[in-house]
């Protein structure tokens, strides 16, 4: 049994997906009582030389606003604009993002820190040959950390896998919620799959407390 990637290649069993929800930016999260990181636990029967594929999918807020041409080079921001039968308006958009990694379960711990750079896109709106307005779309810089810990399970061939995802993006602690959400990770989902073996699953019953404590210690902030 296998699942196929976007190129049609067979890459192993279907991934198990864990939903983490919203991870707010640091500083602002502390003042607002929100969460900046979350962890998930699962079990896997890992064969020698096998690789764990990890995907972190989330959504982010992309700001959009309209600027009206005030001359040949100058533009001024407006709430909305009716132009040649087209209604232009500002407002936030939702964009998808994905980070992908591969980890060797024979190692005790893996960690990554990823930076998604800030981006600005400008769409010019023309009437004939003349630029009459432009639509500006902007994404803030995001910083994301992913840490994975592997621990043996007593009297079992399976291993426990703990994954923590953290939003390390800085944000003004006094910012309005709408502004802070531009630096948040929304609808975060973690996908795990092995290149072979039986895949991963949620623990059906609590495991040995020593295993749980050892795994969580590796992921403690």
Closest CA to 44 of 205, 196, 193, 159: 159
- Please write the tens of the pLDDT for every residue from 46-104: 777 788 888 999 999 999 999 999 987 899 999 889 888 889 998 899 999 999 988 88
Q: Specify whether the backbone of 157 is left (phi greater than 0), alpha (psi in -120 to 50) or beta.
A: alpha
What pLDDT, on the 0 to 100 scale, is given for residue 200? Answer: 58
Hey, where are the domains in the chain? 16-60+95-118+141-219
- The sign of the torsion formed by the CA atoms of 151, 153, 154, 157 equals negative
Cβ atoms within 10 Å, residue 120: 9
Which distant-in-sequence residues (6+ apart) come within 8 Å of 158 by Cβ? 43, 44, 45, 46
Cα three-residue angle 130-133-139, rounded to 5 degrees: 135
Q: pTM to 2 decimals? A: 0.78
Most confident of 33-47, 69-83, 130-144, 195-209: 130-144
């Amino acid at each position: 049994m296998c699942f196929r990637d976007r190129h049609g290649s067979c890459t192993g069993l279907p991934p198990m997906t864990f939903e983490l929800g919203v991870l707010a930016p640091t500083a602002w999260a502390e003042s607002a009582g929100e969460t900046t990181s979350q962890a998930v636990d699962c079990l896997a029967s890992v064969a020698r030389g096998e690789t764990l594929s990890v995907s972190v999918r989330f959504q982010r807020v992309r700001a959009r606003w309209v600027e009206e041409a005030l001359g040949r080079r100058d533009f001024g921001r407006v709430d909305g604009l009716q132009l040649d039968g087209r209604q232009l308006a500002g407002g936030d958009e939702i964009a998808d993002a994905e980070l992908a990694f591969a980890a060797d379960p024979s190692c005790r711990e893996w960690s990554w820190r990823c930076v998604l750079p800030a981006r600005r896109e400008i769409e010019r709106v023309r009437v004939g040959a003349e630029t009459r307005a432009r639509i500006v779309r902007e994404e803030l810089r995001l910083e994301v950390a992913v840490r994975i810990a592997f621990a043996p399970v007593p009297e079992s061939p399976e291993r426990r896998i703990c994954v923590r995802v953290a939003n390390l993006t800085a944000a003004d602690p006094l910012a309005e919620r709408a502004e802070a959400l531009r630096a948040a990770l929304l609808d975060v989902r973690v996908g795990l799959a092995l290149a072979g073996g039986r895949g991963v699953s949620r623990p059906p019953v609590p495991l040995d407390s020593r295993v749980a404590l050892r795994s969580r210690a590796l992921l403690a902030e």
